[in-house]
Structure 1
Amino acid sequence: MTDLIATQRSAASVSPTVAEPAQYLTFMLGGEAFAIGILSIKEIIEYQGLTTVPMMPECVRGVINLRGAVVPVIDLQARLGRRSSEVTKRTCIVIVEVQGEDERQVVGVVVDVVNEVLEIAPADIEPAPTFGARIRTDFIAGMGKVRGKFVILLDVDTVLAIADELIGRAGAAHEPAVALT
């Protein structure tokens, strides 16, 4: 799956014009289809044991060691104000890069199942609903129409804005104590 993402990212990085379709990774959360722009995604990994970190918000499942880096893992269901899904053998962690206050940061998000990479034309994207949505409307970048159904396009920088403070906390929790002299 990581090779598919890398291929899709390199194809998507060719300077598209405004009318060009954008590529999105689609996945399921609690029976609903969601998508994230492919350019934010670094890789997809199998759900693995997490190290829990005390005093974290409920939406933070823990941290993982990803090639020597401490990466916080967010329960996307909880972040969207929903009840967490059960972990199954199809549960994945999507590693995304989000814009923090000062720099880009890497965060993992737990999803129920990854579906596919789709191209969605700008003409097939509706604006976020102004009311009636089951999640905060500022988390929604738009509603993509795919094969007669809607896919919720997430604004990952907004949804994962919590990552700024979490990365500092998670990293500090795993650093050795320094003696003051």
Structure 2
Amino acid sequence: VTSMHSLLQSATFLPQLGHNPLASGPLVLTKDGHIRGVSGDKAHIFYGIPYADPPVGAYRWKAPRALSPWPGVYDASFPRAACMQACAGPIIEECPQTVSEDCLHLNIFVPLEVNFSTPLLSSLPVLVWIHGGDFIAGSASKPLYDGRFISNFTRTVVVNLEYRLVVIILLSFSAVNKSSDM
């Protein structure tokens, strides 16, 4: 998705963007609008940044659509819901508490040493960390995928993302095959 690529490019250049010293967390500007994150014990964190418009309603069975800019400042201070998934049997304890079809989000972790009010002298590497779960379960917001430690101790921008899982993909093939306009 082009929007996700743009956000990842923005992650590389986050330190070159502005910071509002009157606010409680780091503020960055992307092509889709302002995003406010939080500064934690090991990293600056931007949770739940959308990388596509929500695939809900009439768009449920369609490919993701480019992200629409949001008004105001996007609150990226807390994790968003995981994608719909099949949770049963021995993995049920591992399943996220909250799931939604509106789940195409990413989390960005930036080293604490980054000062958002001054440009970086050199770019930081970016690690895109895709959660496991055999495409049937999992979430970027599970503690296992918390990127703040990797980010801070390796001077790396860590990005992890939620993505549609098999439960919704299989249902979409069924719906598309039964559609009269296909």
Q: TM-score, normalised by structure 1?
A: 0.29
Structure richer in strand, relative to its length: 1
